[in-house]
Structure formats: C-alpha cells, structure tokens
C-alpha cells in the first residue's frame, strides 16, 4: 500500500462509530470493567443510550450492564479484528442487528474475541 493510498484503515471503522454515536454532551457512566474488556455506557443528550464493549482477549466475553434505561431498542454494530466489517458503499459501518432490552435491572451483552461491539439507540 503506498503512502498516499486512500484505502480506509482498520481503525476507521471503530472511530467512525464512536464519533457518530457518542456526541458532545453525552453523560458518561462508569460500568464495571472486566479483565481484558473495556466498557463504556453513555446517556445521549436526547435521552438515548450508547454502549461500547472492546474485548482485547482471545475468547468471547459477557458483560452485565445495569443502567437506568427502561426498555430500549438498540442498533448493533460489530468490528472483529481481521474480518471484513459490515459497511455501506462508502465504507461507513452498517448495523448488523437490533436488540430490545431493559438494562435497568441488568442485561448481559456479549462481545466476541478481539472485537468491538457498539449498541446505540441513535440512528
């Protein structure tokens, strides 16, 4: 790849998700951080939610999040190291599914090995 290549780099995918779905004015929460996993929970300015899980281990991890969300539906975005992510024609991430859950009493989310998963109510 030349120094002037316009090909998207692997980190573009996760950075584009975070910059799009974690806007200024979000309230950041500090959920439990299991070994090898980074967890971010944020209440968005409009009242929605965003959760990001980064798994730096070689096995899938399940994290139980408890946040005062009530029942919400979130779009799911996934990036796995070395795999081709789900993108549109311009290379921007596309959702891989949706999940409806209530995190108020706690809900388990799973992130695969060497993966980043973002769940957001934002569209």
Dmax (CA) for the chain in angstroms is 51
Q: Name the pLDDT band for 27 (thresholds 50, 70, 90).
A: very high
Cα–Cα distance for residue pair 49/67, rounded to 1 Å: 9
Query: What is the CB-side half-sphere exposure of residue 100 using CA atoms within 13 A?
Result: 1
State how far the alpha carbon of 19 is from the alpha carbons of 5, 68, 114, 117, in Å: 23, 23, 21, 14
pTM: 0.91
Give the contacts of 64 (CB within 8 A, at least 6 positions apart).
106, 107, 108, 109
Reported as a single tens digit per residue, the pLDDT across 32-57 is: 899 999 999 999 998 999 999 999 99
């Amino acid at each position: 790849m030349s120094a002037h290549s316009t090909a998207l780099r692997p980190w573009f995918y996760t950075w584009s998700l975070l910059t799009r779905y974690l806007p200024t004015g979000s309230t950041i929460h500090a959920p439990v951080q299991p070994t090898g996993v980074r967890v971010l929970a944020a209440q968005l300015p409009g009242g929605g939610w965003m959760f990001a899980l980064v798994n730096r281990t070689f096995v899938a991890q399940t994290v139980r999040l408890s946040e005062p969300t009530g029942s919400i539906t979130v779009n799911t975005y996934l990036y796995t190291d070395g795999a081709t992510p789900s993108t549109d024609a311009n290379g921007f991430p596309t959702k891989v599914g949706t999940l409806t859950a209530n995190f108020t009493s706690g809900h388990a989310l799973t992130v695969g090995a060497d993966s980043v998963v973002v769940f957001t109510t934002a569209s």
